[in-house]
Amino acid sequence: MKILVCISNVPDTTSKINFAEGDTKFDTNGVQFVINPNDEFGLTRAMWFKEKQGATVHVATVGEASVEPTMRKALAIGADEAIRVNAVPTDGFFVAQQLAQVVKDGGYDLVIGGRESIDYNGGMVPGILATLLDMNFVNTCINLEIEGNNATAIREIDGGKEKITTTLPLVVGGQKGLVQESDLRIPNMRGIMMARQKKLNVVEPVEAINATTDAKFEKPAPKGAVKLVDNVDDLVNLLHTEAKVI
């Protein structure tokens, strides 16, 4: 089985976010980037298939050279090969078109991506990718088993979970549940050294449509001042006269 894990290079959640050029572009200065958490769950599940079933695992991303440390981390975790499409990821449709070409060129049986990235939270790439490739698709996937050409998956739905069966080739939009946080892997020294010898292929982008552009970014309004009260009567009075909720 040949698996492609789609990786997003996203800001660490502890990073301070700013915008530049009149709030039209994300300011990357001083920002630490990491593997998108939903993608990392998928990568860890792919490693399980590699170890238990002998699968080959490749990772791919769309980005400039600055994303290569993130790809090297994926290689250090255990991926066999990395592919970087040399383009700025402008929107989800553009990214899906680039990744679709990678899948076509590589002949993958299973494509795993996060259900969404934690930067723009678009949640569109896996679904568009499956449509472009005419592959079966399971989104919000929290468990995945493969036996031969058959796949059994559990996905979250409104109010519960759904167990479904399908066949390869398959695109999965994964999240926590594919593995648990305790199963995520930290690269060890041996993995880091071996990653230096693994292939990181750079391919040029195919001609594709940019369906959207960013007009402007805006930070959430700052939190208002907090008023502390030390007795119930004052609290009730404030809720009635100021907050006007009772």
167-184: pLDDT as tens digits: 999 999 999 999 999 999
Domain ranges of the chain: 2-220
To the question of pTM greater than 0.85 for the whole model, the response is yes
Which residue, among 111, 109, 35, 48, has the nearest Cα to 74 in the 3D structure?
35
Phi, psi of 86 (to 5 degrees): -80, 75
Q: How many alpha carbons lie under 13 Å from residue 65 in its C-beta half-sphere?
A: 0
CB 111 within 8 A of CB 171: yes
- pLDDT value at 37 more than 90: yes
Angle CA 111–88–16, to nearest 5: 95
pLDDT bracket for residue 210 (50, 70, 90): confident
2-220: which CATH architecture? 3-Layer(aba) Sandwich (3.40)
173 close to 56: Cβ distance less than 8 angstroms: no
Q: What is the mean pLDDT of residues 108-123?
A: 94
228 vs 165: CA distance, rounded Å = 54
What is the model's pLDDT at position 140? 96
102, pLDDT greater than 90: yes
Cβ proximity of 126 and 93 under 8 Å: no
